[in-house]
Chain A
Amino acid sequence: MKERRSIAAPASGSVKALSDDSGIEYWHGRILVTSQGYILPTSTPVNHYLRISPRLLALVPAAVAINLVVGTITRELSLPVYLDTIGTVLVAAVSGFGPGVLVGAVSQLLLGLLTGYQYLPFVVIQWLLALLVALAASYHGFRSVFRTVLWGLACGACCGALSAVISYTLFGGSTGGGVGWLTAALRSAGLPLGVAVAIGSSSTDLLDKTIVIVVTGMLLRTLPRRILGRFPRAARAVGQ
């Protein structure tokens, strides 16, 4: 869904840009890089600049808020999962990898204001998730429950593995919260620390990410065509 349009450059003059539904455009020196990777020369030298479309500027705060609020709802229901990446998954599915990364980064930065920035390294899990979900969306990964479960398990396995590496390397397995105590229980049962951390992180992430992706898939499939029409990637994700 590409269209050629004229947009004002941050400096004087204007450049031609390719705009897509992800809504992010970058300028750097004398070139312009669109979110789909097109590199175009510009007539005006401009500073590195990031322009966010109004729709994305409206969607990203809502998605970050969803991450925070749904995480709170899940804690209030005392469920053994986090579901605090549902906004990231939703945006990555409807707008692509770049916006998903943006939501993940802002979520983690904002969470840092509530719980401290010691968990900031886990932002890479949000980015990996955004990448995998964008990939799933481009391969119609949200077309059926079966497909979402498969993609959910794949995302959970990848994110769990990365989470285990971060948790083991930077925290020695002591990340606090339920996963930390599960790791401690497994370690007391005689498992080596690395194995205990891997099992603790992977089991939680496998369940968590699968539920997040299945829930997002259910939502996308129930969206009316009118709304799907506004998000072409979401339509592609559910195979329409």
Chain B
Amino acid sequence: MTLARRAHPFTTGAVALTAVTLALLLADTQDVIVLYLVTVLVAVATGAGAGVRRGLYVVVPIWALLFILQVLLGLDPRTAAPWGGTMSVPGVQFALSQGSRLAVIATASLAFATTFDPQRFLQASIARGWPFGAAFLLVATLDAADRLASQARQLREAQRTRGVMVSGSLATRARALPALIFPLLLTSLTEADDRALALDTRGLLLTGRRTAIDPPADSPTGRALRWLMLVLVIAAAVWRVRR
């Protein structure tokens, strides 16, 4: 198991949140580019390298659009481009600044996502005494998304056997839409009461301190790291305000 997966979920969350906050607070483009490199290094070193790869899939199209809209078609003044032709000077500044900020945000959040285990997070929240409803909402939603995606796949096959066309012209595909989504919407409304009853009878909304059955281990190093992240964010915020 990688270091990122072994770590307490609050610690990985705190590190990712710090990277995102610093990306928003840092003013100089060079600092944000360094932050991106640090984020990539930390993600790879702790075994969350898949997040870096997923982050690149997300930000490369954004970088391409920033290049077209800001660098090639940006505002004057313009300067000679290395590939011949000209490029916008403020456009290059904006593209580098926003491109690197978005890269940090995408990489940090997706690196966190690759290590995120909803059940560990739920147990950690219970152990910490956080509001159960909020943590349950997240976990139940992930479960519901899996269940509904599976229902949608079955429904699609069933509707195809009944003659619904899911390929062809735009009009044909658009006509298939109600047949594919109406049953899902209707099911979610009709099942709401049954599920509510089940939640109620299982005492899900009882108040009072809950007991975590298998909370993830929290180490002094993890706690120290979370405090360090908080200090870093506060320091960056103070520095930004005073600048």
Contact = CB atoms under 8 A, between A and B. Distances in A.
Given A64-B141, A69-B145, A110-B141, A176 B109 contact: no
Interface in A1-52: 8-10, 49-52
Interface residues of A, number: 70
B65 A174 contact: yes
Q: Secondary structure at chain A's binding surface: helix, strand, loop or mixed?
A: helix
Contact of B109 (A10, A65, A68, A117): A117
Interface in A174-216: 174-177, 180-181, 183-184, 187-188, 193, 215-216
Contacts of A173: 65, 69
B205 A176 contact: no
Contact of B189 (A57, A60, A114, A231): A231
A115 B105 CA distance: 10
Contacts of B141: 60-61, 64-65, 106, 110
B188 A118 contact: no
A55 B148 contact: no
Nearest to B67: A174
A106 B152 contact: no
Interface of B: 20, 54-55, 58-59, 61-62, 65-66, 68-70, 73, 94-95, 98, 102, 105-107, 109-110, 113, 116, 131, 133-134, 136-138, 140-145, 147-149, 152, 156, 166, 170, 173-174, 176-178, 180-182, 184-186, 188-200, 204-205, 207
10 contacts: A62-B192, A64-B144, A73-B152, A74-B177, A77-B166, A117-B109, A118-B59, A172-B94, A173-B65, A230-B193
Interface of A: 8-10, 49-55, 57-66, 68-70, 72-74, 76-80, 83, 86-87, 90, 94, 102, 106, 109-110, 112-118, 170-177, 180-181, 183-184, 187-188, 193, 215-216, 218-219, 223, 227, 230-231
